[in-house]
């Protein structure tokens, strides 16, 4: 008898926002998938016609977790449109605050959103379950969960020192940052970084940051894992439990990776902005050919065939893109546009950022296992160590130039096209602005989640998440924990993505559970 074919809809939480996944199954195996965001606010329509400076206030409100990234991207978009010179200390302060947000996000995502699924009832009989519960039990009961709240609230003191509040403060503007710089702030930053690093060493790594940074390959990591202090750290338990439940074999998705680079170089990021000099390079990793090419923003295109929007008939670059709802009943199933890089479906995120930056440990592990669920999340445990070191360097650079300005004044131009790309915690975030007669004529935000969670494109190719679910075997359809692991390894931020996306997906003939 052939296996039963059916379609199910699964709503998900702990994705920052709301998300629906529709799966077609043959027996217990997923044969097709559609991802839909389920809430719409319409930021782009709100921005059109307003003063360009309003983007600095409005775009951070797209998302409460990556608010600093949105602000930075908006400031960059305006600066490139205006060709405004930027004070190097302004870039340093921006980078420092962005780094603090990234460090906070990696911990909060890992220990408040990802590891709770290790505590799923499906694993009750697993020999490591008591240990997993002791460390990760939600909400806030596991030791790491509780400690994460305490530690991450303190690293945010860095953003508060310059911006006054987190999330949502508008301390970046074209030319630099609005706040002055003094020794007291830098001392607060030093203290916050030290305290966080000590917690991270003690609770997460089980070794010093220095020792962790000395690991350069998959072999180094396996040797590191042999020591009891390392095996029993949060990272050790994460790795061993994750391997035992199959995370390294799950949900690879698209083999192609994309990153626009991480952290602008304060000395070199200036008009005419024809290059993007970053502290860590970006690029496009062609997963089929195994080569890295430079990132070219002209290759970003939006496909509207499966979007419930007026379809111009061919993919368009964000500067030329429009968002006009089209309620015609056809094959379209989402208000989200399918974003593509040239002809490729791409994957964005910390893994993409670090592979393209040439991080030796991550590149080595990536060559062994590919872009899997396990490695995506492992990257979030690994990345903060290097970020903390970069934060110390940035504070030193600020201290050395403490009397230099944090802001350079220049005249905004009434017309210009701008593009700001920033490494949010979830991957490259892009803002494209078109300014005409001193007003916003067009504003497009493409978030990393919009790339990853996109619907099918004009050629009918699935987006990265949709691709990552195909072939998945789900043991218990009432409790699809394997799906939960894959989804949460993507670190979806649906509030970001659905700023101009909505629901109503195909397939129409379906039954829902529960």
Partner 1 sequence: MTDERPKTAAPTLLWIACGACSGESMAILGAEGRGRRGDTLPGFLAEHDVELLWHPSLSLESPRQTAALIDRIIAGEQALTLLCVEGSIIHGPNGSGRFDTFEGRPKRDLVAALCARADYVLAMGSCAAFGGIPAAPPNPSESTGLQFTNKRPGGLLSSEWRSRAGLPVVNLSACPVDATTMIETMSALVQGRTLELDAVGRPSTQKPCLSDPLERRCRTADKVGYACYGCIGPKFPLSRPLFRHREVDARAA
Q: 481-500: which residues touch partner 1 (CB under 8 A)? A: 484, 495
- Interactions with partner 1, residue window 214-233 (CB under 8 A): none
33, 35, 63, 207: which one binds partner 1 (CB under 8 A): 63
28, 29, 31, 38: which one binds partner 1 (CB under 8 A): 38
**At its nearest, how many Å lie between partner 1 and the CB of residue 442?**
15
23, 35, 56, 381: which one binds partner 1 (CB under 8 A): 56
Residue with tokens 């500067």: 319
Is residue 85 at the binding interface for partner 1, with CB under 8 A as the rule? no
- For 396, other C-beta atoms within 10 Å of its C-beta total 12
Q: Tell me which DSSP letter residue 141 carries.
A: T
**CA-closest candidate to residue 128, choices 249, 242, 247:** 242
Applying CB under 8 A, which part among 50-58, 288-296, 425-433, 448-456 lies near partner 1? 50-58
30, 159, 193, 258: which one binds partner 1 (CB under 8 A): 159
Per the CB < 8 A criterion, the answer to whether 452 and 429 are in contact is no
**At its nearest, how many Å lie between partner 1 and the CB of residue 304?**
18
> For residue 401, what are its two tokens?
């130039």
Is residue 437 at the binding interface for partner 1, with CB under 8 A as the rule? no
> Whose Cβ is closer to partner 1: residue 180's or residue 314's?
180
Is residue 439 at the binding interface for partner 1, with CB under 8 A as the rule? no
Which DSSP string do the residues of 230-252 spell out, in sequence order?
A: HHTSHHHHHHHHHHHTTGGGS--
**At its nearest, how many Å lie between partner 1 and the CB of residue 143?**
12
The rounded distance, in Å, linking the Cα atoms of 299 and 319 is 12
**At its nearest, how many Å lie between partner 1 and the CB of residue 163?**
6
Applying CB under 8 A, which part among 160-168, 284-292, 294-302, 444-452 lies near partner 1? 160-168
Total chain residues near partner 1 (CB under 8 A): 77
Strands 278-280 and 262-264: antiparallel
The rounded distance, in Å, linking the Cα atoms of 429 and 103 is 17
68, 72, 95, 116: which one binds partner 1 (CB under 8 A): 116
Dump strand ranges (E) for 137-207: 172-173, 176-177
> Whose Cβ is closer to partner 1: residue 188's or residue 265's?
188
The rounded distance, in Å, linking the Cα atoms of 353 and 282 is 7
> For residue 159, what are its two tokens?
């953003």
> For residue 479, what are its two tokens?
């409790």
> For residue 234, what are its two tokens?
């949060």
Is residue 41 at the binding interface for partner 1, with CB under 8 A as the rule? yes
Applying CB under 8 A, which part among 175-183, 359-367, 385-393, 460-468 lies near partner 1? 175-183
> Whose Cβ is closer to partner 1: residue 8's or residue 365's?
8
Strands 5-12 and 283-286: unpaired
């Amino acid at each position: 008898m052939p296996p039963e074919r059916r379609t199910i809809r699964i709503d998900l939480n702990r994705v920052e926002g709301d998300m629906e996944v529709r799966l077609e199954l043959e027996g217990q195996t997923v044969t097709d998938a559609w991802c839909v965001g389920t809430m719409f606010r319409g930021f782009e329509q709100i921005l059109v016609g307003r003063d360009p400076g309003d983007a600095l206030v409005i775009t951070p409100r797209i998302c409460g977790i990556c608010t600093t990234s949105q602000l930075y991207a908006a400031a960059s978009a305006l600066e490139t449109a205006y060709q405004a010179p930027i004070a190097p200390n302004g870039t340093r302060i921006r980078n420092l605050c962005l780094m603090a947000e990234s460090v906070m996000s990696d911990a909060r995502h890992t220990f408040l959103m990802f590891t709770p699924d290790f505590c799923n009832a499906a694993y009750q009989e697993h020999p490591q379950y008591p240990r997993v519960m002791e460390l990760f039990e939600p909400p806030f009961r596991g030791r790491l969960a509780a400690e994460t709240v305490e530690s991450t609230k303190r690293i945010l003191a860095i953003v508060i020192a310059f911006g006054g509040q987190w999330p949502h403060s508008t301390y970046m503007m074209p030319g630099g940052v609005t706040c002055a710089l003094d020794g007291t702030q830098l001392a607060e930053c030093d203290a916050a970084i030290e305290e966080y690093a000590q917690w991270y060493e003690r609770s997460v790594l089980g070794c010093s940051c220095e020792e962790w940074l000395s690991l350069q390959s998959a072999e180094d990591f396996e040797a590191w894992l042999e020591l009891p202090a390392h095996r029993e750290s949060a990272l050790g338990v994460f790795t061993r439990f994750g391997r035992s439940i199959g995370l390294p074999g799950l949900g690879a998705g698209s083999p192609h990776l994309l990153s626009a680079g991480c952290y602008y170089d304060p000395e070199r990021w200036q008009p005419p902005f024809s290059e993007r000099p970053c502290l860590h390079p970006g690029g496009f990793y062609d997963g089929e050919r195994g080569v890295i090419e430079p990132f070219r923003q002209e290759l970003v295109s939006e496909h509207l065939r499966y979007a419930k929007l007026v379809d111009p008939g061919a993919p368009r670059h964000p500067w030329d893109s429009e968002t006009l709802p089209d309620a015609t009943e056809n094959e379209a199933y989402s208000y989200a546009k399918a974003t593509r890089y040239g002809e490729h479906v791409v994957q964005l995120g910390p893994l993409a950022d670090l592979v393209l930056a040439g991080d030796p440990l991550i590149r080595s592990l990536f060559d062994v296992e590919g872009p899997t669920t396990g490695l995506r999340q492992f990257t979030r445990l690994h990345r903060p160590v290097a970020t903390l070191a970069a934060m110390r360097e940035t504070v030193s650079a600020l201290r050395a130039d403490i009397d230099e300005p944090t802001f350079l004044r220049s005249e905004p131009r009434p017309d210009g096209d701008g593009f700001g790309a920033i490494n949010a915690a979830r991957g490259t975030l892009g803002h494209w602005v078109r300014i005409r007669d001193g007003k916003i004529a067009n504003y497009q935000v493409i978030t990393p989640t919009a790339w990853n969670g996109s619907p099918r494109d004009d050629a009918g190719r699935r987006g990265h998440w949709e691709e990552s679910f195909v072939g998945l075997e789900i043991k218990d359809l009432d409790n699809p924990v394997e799906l939960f692991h894959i989804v949460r390894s993507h670190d979806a931020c649906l509030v970001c993505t659905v700023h101009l996306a909505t629901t109503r997906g195909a397939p129409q003939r379906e039954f829902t559970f529960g």
